[in-house]
Amino acid sequence: MATFRAFIAVDLKANEKIAKVLEELKSALPSLKLVDQANFHITLKFLGDTEESLIPDIKKTIERATIGLSPFTISLIGTGAFPSKSKIRVIWIGIKNTEQLSMIAKKLDEELYSLGFEMEEREFSPHLTLARAREIISSMKIEKIIDQYREEEFGKEMVESIRLKKSVLTPKGPIYSTVDEVILG
């Protein structure tokens, strides 16, 4: 039975403000792995290795989790890092107006459990990943960039669909494709 590395997400568009931050991060610390702007998304649920035969059931689950939901707007605001600004593994942009996203993520988590997927242990924390470090780093230059954009508004996005995505890991970085999609409204 064929499997693929899967996750459920909202795709986001690139914009010039975000591109500028990526440039600054790259020049401050060339070893950072920047996320390709074509891959910008908010992960609602990471599934991991997934049987292809489950695709129809996963789509039904997304449909149930979004029933009655019309397209809605989220705001991209501020920068930060996981686990913290002084110990950096992931650099991100924050998301505001996340009530609907959180509700969808919670429903997906509960419903996908019955298909054999693990429940999330961490609380849902919607964000747009900009860059990753191979290991935890501390960098005054990066901290400064994070501080500089801590309150920055990076624009609004209309969430119109939820997508089941496939991730193929390559030496140049992951390649994402849409396996299936549920349109809101």
Positions marked catalytic: 41, 127
Q: Cβ–Cβ contacts within 10 Å for residue 75, how many?
A: 15
> What distance in Å separates the CA atoms of residue 162 and residue 43, rounded to the nearest whole number?
10
Which region holds residue 57: left if phi is over 0, alpha if psi is between -120 and 50, else beta? alpha
DSSP letter at 66? T
What are 71's two structure tokens?
């397209």
Long-range CB contacts for residues 112-117, cutoff 8 Å, separation at least 24 = 112/45, 112/47, 112/58, 112/61, 115/54, 115/57, 115/58, 115/61, 117/45, 117/47, 117/48
